[in-house]
């Protein structure tokens, strides 16, 4: 390399990017969210607070997520006939949006509870023999509608140091799929193949692979390969194939089934999302329930409400209306077709990847919109509202700086800067499927309500 090239170090670049972020913050500086001054002051005086946040962050960063099994939901998490898990905070059928309703209807047919999606609507509306519950309440996460029923196969992730486990279904692909609210015959046919062929095959492969797939390590690699692990999971999906394919071949399964499974996984760049998500939940679950910590441990949407949970306030949800993402649309779809924000996938941002790590994945702007500079600026801005930098997830273009990790309720409220989430967009009419992808933020009220609860929880002498 010519000397005049070698002489340019990373400092200049870092400074240039820093300058941009600073300029942005100056222009758009905002005061603390209105009415939060007293709550911020109370939390600031909490002697537990700094150590609690350090503990929460440290516990999250200490988790290693290994893929240890693949099981039907009834075995993995004891899901019973008539039980339906869904994404986001708790919700009833009456308040459910189109894509969540569509996914529930399709799943009811899949489980044989009814013969047609239309009959399912009556069943679910009556609510007599069905039970809706958030994935998050069952050590699980679900992308988009996030509907899980007993026969669906799930990845089982485990932290070897504690034995803690989390779960997520297998990814169906894009377009007309159940998690986006579609329930056409081909959607159910694909799900049946996943249950009959793909799930059992992956189970045999996972059980036969000598070293369990280290999802945390793969996530770290993905960020060096242009993925941010929410809407770009290309490299992750490819590494999954690389690591599991030999055992799939050696599983004794029919060669045609193995070839079809390899084609199915290889044909879906988002396949790894359903491993990234439970890995993030596993990390964040370790940080739950620490008195005095203002770190967010879950951000999730059910298509109607956006909800967050915070380490220092137990399992309480702080909710507000889900916004409509701003992004790019598929085919002839447009903003009028978009459902409000939906899915547990914001667990990725909660854990320092996805919208927090867009600087590692500049090509994502072709999927969610914006320019490359936006992707860099988005990550830089998130350092303002996070507790630390991830030790396993680094951004090469920022000189291998760790991603902004651990959303801090106090920092969000104090700066008015909301977490940046990138996400798929579901059609608002049940049965439609995906219509686009874009960017969205949680409603501020989640954080103002959370800071109020955190302030009330500060011990008084």
Which 367-386 positions form the footprint of a copy of itself (CB under 8 A)?
Answer: 370-374, 376-378, 381
The single residue among 6, 122, 210, 331 that binds a copy of itself, judged by CB under 8 A, is 6
Residue 207 lies near a copy of itself (rule: CB under 8 A): no
The angle at the Cα of 442, spanning 438 to 444, to the nearest 5 degrees, equals: 140
Within a 13 Å sphere around the CA of 125, how many CA atoms are in the beta-carbon half? 7
Q: Give the shortest CB-401-to-a copy of itself separation in angstroms.
A: 10
Q: What part of residues 42-61 is at the interface with a copy of itself (CB under 8 A)? A: none
Residue 284 lies near a copy of itself (rule: CB under 8 A): no
Residue 320 pairs with which residues in a beta bridge? 306
Using the contact rule CB under 8 A, the part of the chain among 100-108, 115-123, 234-242, 288-296 near a copy of itself is: 234-242
Residue 118 lies near a copy of itself (rule: CB under 8 A): no
The single residue among 46, 243, 389, 449 that binds a copy of itself, judged by CB under 8 A, is 243
Using the contact rule CB under 8 A, the part of the chain among 7-15, 48-56, 142-150, 289-297 near a copy of itself is: 7-15
The single residue among 250, 314, 321, 334 that binds a copy of itself, judged by CB under 8 A, is 250
**How far is 406 from 310, CA to CA, in rounded Å?**
11
**How far is 347 from 407, CA to CA, in rounded Å?**
11
Using the contact rule CB under 8 A, the part of the chain among 5-13, 142-150, 156-164, 336-344 near a copy of itself is: 5-13
The single residue among 324, 397, 429, 445 that binds a copy of itself, judged by CB under 8 A, is 397
Those residues with Cβ within 8 angstroms of residue 392's Cβ, 6 or more apart along the chain or in another chain: 61, 216, 217, 219, 220
b/e code 156-193 from CB counts within 10 Å (16+ = b)? bbbbeeeebbbbbbbbbbbebbbbbbbbbeebbebbee
How many C-beta atoms lie closer than 10 Å to residue 47's C-beta? 10
Asked whether the CA dihedral 146, 149, 155, 160 is positive or negative, the reply is positive
Rounded alpha-carbon distances, angstroms, from residue 216 to 34, 163, 213, 390 = 38, 15, 9, 11
Residue 347 lies near a copy of itself (rule: CB under 8 A): no
**How far is 159 from 183, CA to CA, in rounded Å?**
35
Whether the CB-CB separation of 209 and 242 falls below 8 Å is answered with no
Residue 355 lies near a copy of itself (rule: CB under 8 A): yes
Residue 398 tokens, joined: 């920022």
Using the contact rule CB under 8 A, the part of the chain among 61-69, 158-166, 239-247, 342-350 near a copy of itself is: 239-247
Residue 11 lies near a copy of itself (rule: CB under 8 A): yes
Whether the CB-CB separation of 439 and 326 falls below 8 Å is answered with yes
Where does 250-389 have alpha helices with state H? 255-266, 273-285, 347-350, 365-368, 372-382
Q: What part of residues 156-195 is at the interface with a copy of itself (CB under 8 A)? A: none
The single residue among 231, 302, 420, 432 that binds a copy of itself, judged by CB under 8 A, is 420
Q: Give the shortest CB-63-to-a copy of itself separation in angstroms.
A: 24
Q: Give the shortest CB-418-to-a copy of itself separation in angstroms.
A: 6
Those residues with Cβ within 8 angstroms of residue 350's Cβ, 6 or more apart along the chain or in another chain: 280, 284, 296, 297, 298, 299, 407, 419
Residue 457 tokens, joined: 């929880």
Residue 263 lies near a copy of itself (rule: CB under 8 A): yes
What character string, x for contact with a copy of itself (CB under 8 A) and - otherwise, covers 425-454?
--------------xxx-------------
Rg of the chain on CA atoms, in Å:
22
Q: Give the shortest CB-404-to-a copy of itself separation in angstroms.
A: 13
Number of residues that bind a copy of itself (CB under 8 A): 72
Of 444, 412, 240, 273, which is closest to residue 348 (Cα–Cα)?
273
Residue with Cβ nearer a copy of itself (195 or 266): 266
Q: Give the shortest CB-441-to-a copy of itself separation in angstroms.
A: 6
Residue 220 lies near a copy of itself (rule: CB under 8 A): no
Using the contact rule CB under 8 A, the part of the chain among 2-10, 33-41, 82-90, 296-304 near a copy of itself is: 2-10
Residue 354 lies near a copy of itself (rule: CB under 8 A): no
Residue 31 lies near a copy of itself (rule: CB under 8 A): no
The single residue among 417, 435, 446, 454 that binds a copy of itself, judged by CB under 8 A, is 417
Ranges assigned E (strand) in 236-329: 296-302, 305-310, 318-321, 326-329
Q: What part of residues 295-334 is at the interface with a copy of itself (CB under 8 A)? A: 326
């Amino acid at each position: 390399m010519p000397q005049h090239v070698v002489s340019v170090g990373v400092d200049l670049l870092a400074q240039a990017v820093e300058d941009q972020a600073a300029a942005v913050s100056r222009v758009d500086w905002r005061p603390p969210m209105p009415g939060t001054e007293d709550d911020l002051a109370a939390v600031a005086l909490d002697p537990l607070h700094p150590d609690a946040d350090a503990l929460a962050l440290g516990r999250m960063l200490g988790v290693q997520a290994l893929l240890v099994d693949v099981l039907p939901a009834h075995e993995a998490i004891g899901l019973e006939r008539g039980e339906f898990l869904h994404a986001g905070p708790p919700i009833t059928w009456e308040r459910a949006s189109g894509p969540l309703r569509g996914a529930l209807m399709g799943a009811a047919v899949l489980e044989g509870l009814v013969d047609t999606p239309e009959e399912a609507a009556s069943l679910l509306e009556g609510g007599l023999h069905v039970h809706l519950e958030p994935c998050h309440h069952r050590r699980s996460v679900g992308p988009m509608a996030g509907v899980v029923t007993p026969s669906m196969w799930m990845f089982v992730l485990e932290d070897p140091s504690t034995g803690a486990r989390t779960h997520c279904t297998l990814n169906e692909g894009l377009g007309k799929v159940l998690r986006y609210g579609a329930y056409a015959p081909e959607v159910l046919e694909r799900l049946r193949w996943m249950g009959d062929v793909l799930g059992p095959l992956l189970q045999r492969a996972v059980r036969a692979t000598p070293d369990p797939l280290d999802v945390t390590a793969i996530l770290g690699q993905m960020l060096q390969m242009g993925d941010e692990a929410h809407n770009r999971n290309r490299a992750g999906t490819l590494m999954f194939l690389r690591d599991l394919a030999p055992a799939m071949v050696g599983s004794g399964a029919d060669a045609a089934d193995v070839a079809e499974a390899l084609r199915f996984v290889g044909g879906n760049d988002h396949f790894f999302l359903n491993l990234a998500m439970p890995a993030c939940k596993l990390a964040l679950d370790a940080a739950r329930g620490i008195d005095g910590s203002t770190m967010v441990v879950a951000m999730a949407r059910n298509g109607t409400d956006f909800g967050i949970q915070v380490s220092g306030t137990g399992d309480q949800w702080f909710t507000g209306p889900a916004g409509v993402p701003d992004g790019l649309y598929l085919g002839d779809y447009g903003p009028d077709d978009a459902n409000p924000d939906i899915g547990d996938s914001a667990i990725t941002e909660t854990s320092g990847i996805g919208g927090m790590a867009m600087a590692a994945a500049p090509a994502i702007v072709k999927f969610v919109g914006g320019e490359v500079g936006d992707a860099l600026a988005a990550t830089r801005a998130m350092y303002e509202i996070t507790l630390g930098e991830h030790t396993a997830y680094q951004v090469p273009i920022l000189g291998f700086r760790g991603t902004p990790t651990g959303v801090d309720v106090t920092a969000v409220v104090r700066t008015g800067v909301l977490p940046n989430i990138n996400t798929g967009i579901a059609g608002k009419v049940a049965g439609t499927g995906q219509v686009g992808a874009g960017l969205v933020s949680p409603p501020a009220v989640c954080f103002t309500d959370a800071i109020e609860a955190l302030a009330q929880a500060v011990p008084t002498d």
